[in-house]
Amino acid sequence: MSIVLARPSGHLASAGLFVWILLAYVFCGLLAWRRRPGSGFGRLMVLVGFGAALSNLAWSADPVLYTVGQALDLLVVALFLHVFLAFPDGRLRGPARPLVLLAYAASVGLQLTVMLLGGFGEDNLLVVADVPELADGLHAVELVVLSGLLLAGWAFWPTG
């Protein structure tokens, strides 16, 4: 799907790299799931692989697919933090749980807010108010917040 969407939009090299990473998550997740079916980590890795693929919908020329893909574009950041902090058994513990929930809220909630404010161009079907300066500023805040959450994740990384 990623390659098909990327070809007409000129994102073919990015799509190839993305598919390689996505398949690594899916196949490693399937292997982990098969070897340790009681652990949720394998299932989580498969979910990360497929969840990351949703952002590629933003490469579509169809406005509906573009809008869905753009809305989920940064979901992969929260998914990565989730899988990172859930290692090795797929469970979040202690302060890692609110950190990951905040990452999900920021990656989807702030992205939707940016889209409501007219961010991401003409194909965005969610525009309620066209305020591109505010949308751009909020998008910058979103990226800083997500970067900070990823960095904070190191503090809660399970050490074994």
- Cβ neighbourhood burial of 48 (10 Å; 0-12, 13-18, 19+): buried
Lowest mean pLDDT among 7-11, 95-99, 111-115, 152-156: 7-11
How far, in Å, CA of 51 to CA of 49, rounded? 6
Over residues 97-120, the pLDDT tens digits come to 999 999 999 999 999 999 999 999
Tokens of residue 63, six digits: 């406005």
On average, the pLDDT of the chain sits at 89
